[in-house]
Structure formats: C-alpha cells, structure tokens
Structure 1
Amino acid sequence: MWGTPAEPADSYYEVRPECTDVPKTRFKIKPGKTLSVRKWKAAFNPEGQLDIGKTLNRIQRGGIHPSIRGEVWEFLLGCYSPKSTFDEREELRQQRRKRYYHWKNECHEMFPVVGSGKLITAPVITEDGQPIQDPLVLQETNSGLNASNTSEIIQNLTSHGTLEKKVIQWLLTLNQIGLDVVRTDRTLVFYEKQQNLSKLWDILAVYAWIDRDVGYCQGMSDLCSPMIILLDYEADAFWCFERLMRRLRGNFRCTERSIGVETQLSNLASITQVIDPKLHQHLETLGVGDYLFAFRMLMVLFRREFSFCDSLYLWEMMWALEYDPDLFFLYEEAELAGDKADISKARAKSARHYGKYERENLKNRGKNQDAPLPISVFLVASVLKDKSSKLLTEARGLDDVVKILNDQTGNLDAKKACSGAMKLHKKYLKKAKQTAQRRK
C-alpha cells in the first residue's frame, strides 16, 4: 500500500516540467507515522464518530497521506464535529452545498461572469459605480462568453438605477481576485486547466460577497488554493476556506479599531524580546523593530517559505497542535447568530482531545488572560531564533534581514519548525509567568 519505506509526496501535486527551480518537498509519507487511509478509516466507530485524540497524535508525528488530506482537513478546521455520525455529516454537507450555490447564484445574477467558467482580470466599474466600457480581460473557455456580450453585462449593471454601495464594493474587488488567481500556484499542472482557475475565482468572489466586513484581500488566493486541489466539490472547498478564514480574517482586517496582522507582529516583537533579547535589540537598532519583514509569513501562513507540499504538511501539523474539540460548535453558534467576529474570543470548555499546543495554553491560562496567541507567531519566532547568529553578524539593514530570511525559502523543515515553535512557546509562557510573579 505504501510503496517504498518513505515515499515522497511530490507526485500528488505535479509541477509543470518547465518549472525547474521549484523547491522539492521534504515531506515523506512514512508508514507507522503518517496518518494512512487505513488508520483514518479505523479511527471511526460504526456510526461514524471520530476518535480525534488518536488522529491528532498521528498527524503530529507524521502528517496526513495526500489522498485523504481534504477530508481530514474538514475536521481539523472545524467543518465537522468528531462527535457527528456519517448521516449527520452528510445532511450538513448537503445543506452547506445548497447554501453555497444560493450565494453563488446571487453573485451570478449581479455579475454573470461568476459561475460561467471564466474570470476577469481588469476593472468592470468605476469607484462611483459607473460601468467601464469593454474593459474585460477574459480567460478563454468554451462558455460562449466574449468581449461583446460582456459589454452588455456591464451595461446591465446600472440599467435598473444606481447600484447599492455594497454591490459597487464587491464589483471593485473582482478584477483584483482575477489578477491574484492567475498568479497563484502557477507552477502546478493543476492550474493549467481553466476550470480550476475559474473555480478558485468563483469561491473567492462568493466569499468577498458574504463577508463584506473583510471582502477580498491579497493573500486569500494562497490560502484558498489548496482547498480547490484537495476537495472535489467546489462547495466543500468553499466551506473549508471559510472555516480557515474564521481563524485568519483578523489578519486581513484594517479598520480604525483593528490593525490586522500588525497585532501579531507586535506579539512577535514581545516574544523575541523575551526569548532572544540580543536579537530584538539588534533589530531595533537596525530600525526594523516593527517586524514588518515577517508580514508575509503570518499573512499567508508560510506558503512562500515552503514548497507547496511542505506548506500543506506544516498547516496540518499546526492545526493538529492547536486543535480545539469544540471548534465546530463555536463556529456553528457564531454562524447561526450571524456573528463573523473572530472565534478566538470564545473558548471551549471541554478538557479532552485538545491539540498539544492548545493543552499548554489551557494549563497556563489565567482567568483574565487574553486569547492565546496562534502557533504561527511562535513559528516565525522559531525561524528568527534559528537565524539569530546570521542576523546578528550579517544584517545591517532591512534588505539584509529580508535576504537572510528569503535565502531559506524551500529549505525549512516543517516538522522541525513546529517543534521549535512548541519549545519557544513553553519557554515564553514560563518567562512571562516569572515576570508576572516578580511584578506582584
């Protein structure tokens, strides 16, 4: 079943032959460590309830076999409760698919390119809601859509009077989504197919419509792309992405009261100051104490620092370590209440089957403590610690810091990065506790 003793996973995510400089994956499918198809099926009881504890341990040891990655991710991201049965999940799956296609139809009625098998890469409307004549750069398919009838689509936008502000805002994002989609994971054979590009565009367009508070921001295509590859049904990929965005949407928020990923950068600075004060002081002296050089790592969860396959391996290990058994119920309650607030504000009460990282947080959590930091912040801190001596001796400015960090692209080890993050997390909690006691 497993082939060679340690099977590389590159073959599951085929790279275009002309892309010769793509980093090779370090992730290997290891019998006895990687969560296999057999072990995954054996983790369910006859009714379909999942033994999540054993599953998390297996993922933390060796990741997930690529052939079952999509369905396992649905549990890790809180799409389904491990306590649910096969029948309950099927019912919920059908309900969600209907909901997604209802939203997609709404979008199609406003702008028929959605769902047409095409996508746009140029603006269709001005900021004051006026249609732009013949602006579309359309990716050719056999859908029958062309520049002449897209002109009619644009004219129809305003034929019934002034457009609502929310519609204008949504239409203004569609070309940016298109520009990002055609640049996302283009080294993969998967995206040579137009239908896969348009599927990614459709999902992001629908998400931008339903989450008007955040809409669409650059980086979301990098987060959504793996869902399209791993899950056969577009609606299922949408819900997996939507659940991931419930964790990360704060990163993309920029309002008067919220500054998105900058909060995590500030936390990263605090962590580095505690665990490597010499490095932090050096970065301050260089004028990069705002840690903006780490912006991309946190924004798209290391998608650019790892090979495609290794970034998926890193994600699933992070999610297994952070796993909260009540995620599903928290998300469902928030959704039913129409509340899109960041879920980190709510905490589960169950004491069983947490991920290893989450258990540490629970153990050290005081009554008035803020929501725990995501493991991604400690992952960046771990990378900085690993490069500390090089940064201290060679970095003389922002460009040097960026170059030193970029030089490791494709050379990072996902498992090592996670274990490094766990060690730093423990060390940070210990030092923070000691500091708090001294202040008393």
Structure 2
Amino acid sequence: MKKMPIDKAEWEGYFDESGHLVKSRDFISSNILDRGLDPAVRSEAWKFLTGYYSWRSSHDERLTVDSMRRKSYQALCNMYNKIQPLLETEHRDFMQVCSFINSDLQRLYLRDAQGYAIVDKKQLEKILLLSYVCNTDAEYQQGFHEMLLLFQLLVEKEHEVYWLFQFFLQKTEHSCVVNIGVGKNLIMLKAVIAFMDPIFAKHLEGKSRVVQSLFPWFCLFFQQVFKSFDDVWRLWEVFLMGMPCRNFQVIVAYTMLQSVRDQILRENMGGDDILMVCGNIIDLDADELISKACSMYKLLMEHKDKVPDELKEFFLQGDP
C-alpha cells in the first residue's frame, strides 16, 4: 500500500513559531525517503533540500536570504548584459553554446490541459546562458534545459528558478555532470555489477560499451524513465537528502538494469539489443523504483565485509 507523502500541515509542524526546525534532519530525510513530499510542499521544501535556505534558519532569516538572493541574481543579470556583446564577438564557444541551447529549447514542447504553453523558453534560455557564463565547472550539456524546466515548474520567481538550479547542480555534479561525475558513476556501476551479479557481469564482458552507453541515465538524471514530473521530483528529493547512502544514483541504475537482466541472459543478447532493451525502460513509478533500489542497497550491505573497498568508499563515506 502506497504511503501518504508529507503534506503541508505535517511539513509546517516540523518548525516552531519562529520558523526554526524542531525535527532532526535525519528524521526528515528518512520520511522523504520513505514517503516523499506532497506537491503542495515541494516549492518550499526544495529550498531547504538544495541549500537555498539553511536548515538552521528562522523565518525572518529566510526572508533576508531570499532578498539577498534576488539582489544577487539581478547583479549577475546586469553583469551578463554588459559582457554579452564581448562574449558574442570574442568567444566562439559562447556562440556554440547559444546554438546548442536554442536547438534544445526548440524541441521543448509543453502545454496545459487547455492547450496553453506553460514553458517560458525565454526565461529558460536566459538562465541557461547565465549559468554557463557563471559556472565554469559544469559546462552546458544536453539535458540541462529539461532539468531547468522542472525548476521553472516548481517555483514562481525567476531568481528562485536560477538559484535552485545552481544549488541542485552543485549538490549533484558528481552524479549528473559529464565532465565531473558521470564517468565515475559508470565505472562504479560496472563494479557493482561485477560484485553483485558475476553471471551478468560475465555476459557483459566484451560488451564494455554497453555500460558506458548508459550515460544518458546519469546525464539526464533519470528524467526520461518516469511517467511524470512528480516521479522525477520524487527521486531527485531522495538524491538531495543523501539517503539511504551517498551516490544512490548508481544503485538506482543497477536496479533498472536488474529489471531486464533475466531477459538479456535468456535471449543471450548482444550489445545493441541490450541497449535497445535498456532504452525501453520507461514509464516507471518512482516509489517502486526507490523501494527496489533500497532493497538492492540493503542486499549489498549484507555482504559489507566482502564489499570491495572502492565500493565502500563510494557509497559509505562523506561527501566527495
């Protein structure tokens, strides 16, 4: 039976009259992992999950922080407007990124039940370009426009969209940013398969590009495999809370692979067929995937004394 998510009344009960947290972060993290957040809570809760607000802040302090972030965002926009002509004439990479973003946004199509567009593409373009200019580590990659869309749908104010996206990237760069963490995730996914399922690992031998070709799962942070945006938010908020372990995204990917493992072995599939089957893993339910992935992690930890050191370090130690 599906558990009821944390609703607005329960969320507000986590804070006292001054807005200070009265529950422990572990308590909140466990409940988010187990039950998730009601959609009515997400716009506020995600400001804590991403680091936009400090968990130790009061209501008045959060008002001050929000004002500061709004002013900082406006200052960044003013700076960008001043240097944009120089970027357009002197930096070929900038114009190439502009082209990539424009192409990605052209393919983005989302309307409400009445047929009205609910995507502000101009705002998405502005924030993506500003993010690219201000964040030298996380270069623009395909999929960022779809990630950013979820923040545009989550909160109303432009500065909130920008900062939530920035803090999200900072917290997840070792999971979904190509030039920072995706390669490591693929290496560790292969290591998990080798330890947890030697028979499957043997079948994948000589098909090394199979695991490497699963990089879209990480780059797009599993957006494409779910039924709805609510499912994506549900999984992402678990990642943000860092439970049941760090780098849980690799356990999630392994769990998804296990869902087609028997078919792959039974039909003795080659690399291309395996990738086709993996590409057809769609319309998943986030609660079910999280539950199965938690079970997989529990199974891994049952053999903790035998788990290779590289896996222990990857899943159990503090933030990288």
Query: So what's the TM-score if we normalise by structure 2?
Result: 0.85
1:399 is aligned, of 267, 272, 277, to 272
Identity %: 24
State the Cα deviation string for residues 149-202 of structure 1 (Å, max 9, x = none): xxxxxxxx55xxxx3xxx543333112112112323x24439954871111111
Residues in 2 aligned to 1:422 and 1:97: alpha-carbon distance in whole angstroms: 38
Alpha carbons 2:102, 2:125 under 8 Å: kept: yes
Whether the 8 Å contact between 2:110 and 2:118 is mirrored in structure 1 is no
SS at match of 1:235: helix
- 1:283·1:289 contact (CA, 8 Å) conserved in 2? no
CA distance in 1 between partners of 2:231 and 2:34 (Å): 15
Q: Matches of 2:178 and 2:276 in 1, distance apart?
A: 28
2:45 is matched with which residue?
72
Instruction: Name the CA distance, whole Å, in 2 between partners of 1:54 and 1:311.
Output: 22
Which residue does the alignment assign to 1:342?
none
Counterpart amino acid of 1:35?
Answer: I
Q: Tell me the SS of whatever aligns to 1:383.
A: helix
Partner of residue 416 from structure 1, selected from 271, 282, 288: 288
> Against the structure 1 CA distance between its residues 210 and 192, is the aligned structure 2 distance closer, same or farther, given a 3 Å change threshold?
farther
Structure 1 residues 343-379: Cα deviation after superposition (integer angstroms, max 9, x where no partner) = xxxxxxxxxxxx4x14xxxxxxxxxxxxx5x101000
Equivalent residues in 2 for 1:100-119, closer than 5 Å: 100-111=73-84
The root-mean-square deviation of aligned C-alpha atoms, in Å, is 2.7
Unaligned runs of 5+ in 1: 1-5, 7-27, 113-124, 130-156, 323-354, 359-371
Could you tell me how far 1:268 is from its partner in structure 2?
0.1
| Counterpart among 211, 221, 245 of residue 301 in structure 1 | 221
* Residue identity matched to 2:56: K
Q: What is residue 235 of structure 1 aligned with on the other side? A: 159
Q: How many residues align?
A: 304
Q: Hey, what does 1:246 align to over in structure 2?
A: 170
Paired residue for 2:306? 434
Aligned residue in 2 for 1:45: 16
Cα distance change on mapping 1:419 and 1:195 into 2, 3 Å? closer
Work out which of the residue numbers 33, 58, 63 in structure 2 matches 1:90: 63
* Structural mapping, 1:212-291, within 5 Å: 212-250=136-174, 251-254=176-179, 260-285=181-206, 287-288=207-208, 291=211
- Contact in 1 for aligned 2:210/2:271 (Cα 8 Å): no
Match for 2:5 among 34, 44, 47?
34
| Cα distance per residue 1:116-149 (max 9 Å; x no partner) | xxxxxxxxx9xxx8xxxxxxxxxxxxxxxxxxxx
Provide the C-alpha distance between the structure 1 equivalents of 2:250 and 2:221, rounded to a whole number of angstroms.
Answer: 10
> In structure 2, what is the Cα distance between the partners aligned to 1:171 and 1:101?
23
Q: Counterpart in 2 of 1:56?
A: 29
| Structure 1 equivalent of residue 318 of structure 2 | none
**Contact persistence 1:37–1:68 (CA under 8 A):** yes
Q: Which amino acid aligns with 1:222?
A: E
Q: CA deviation at 1:422?
A: 2.1
1:375 pairs, out of 233, 241, 248, with: 248
1:140-219 aligned within 5 A: 158=89, 163=90, 167-184=91-108, 186-189=109-112, 193=117, 196-219=120-143
Distance 1:281 1:171, change over 3 A: same
- Superposed CA deviations along residues 69-100 of structure 1, whole A, max 9, x for unmatched, are 12111111222221110111111111111111
Quote the offset at 1:253 in angstroms.
4.4
Matches within 5 A, 1:121-140: none
Give the match for residue 21 of structure 1: none
Cα distance between partner residues in 2 of 1:435 and 1:295 = 24
- Distance change (3 Å), C-alpha of 1:435 and 1:402: closer
3-state DSSP of counterpart to 1:433 = coil
| Inter-partner Cα distance in structure 1 for 2:13 and 2:118 | 37
SS of the equivalent of 2:214 reads: helix
Closer, same or farther: CA 318–415 of 1 in aligned 2, 3 Å: farther
Match of 2:315 in 1: none
Is the 8 Å Cα contact of residues 274 and 431 (structure 1) preserved in structure 2? no
Cα separation, partners in 2 of 1:195 and 1:405, compared to 1, 3 Å: closer
Higher helix share: 2
TM-score by length of 1: 0.63
Alignment of 1:333-348 (within 5 A): none
Quick check: 2:6–2:37 contact (8 Å CA) kept in 1? Answer: yes
Q: Distance between the aligned counterparts of 2:178 and 2:297, measured in 1?
A: 26
- Any gaps of 5 or more consecutive residues in structure 2? 310-320
Inter-CA distance 82–40: structure 2 relative to 1 (3 Å threshold): same
- Which amino acid is 2:218 matched to? L
Quick one: distance in 2 between partners of 1:435 and 1:315?
26
Paired AA for residue 389 in structure 1: D
Q: Is contact 1:276-1:385 (8 Å) kept?
A: no
2: distance between equivalents of 1:424 and 1:176? 38
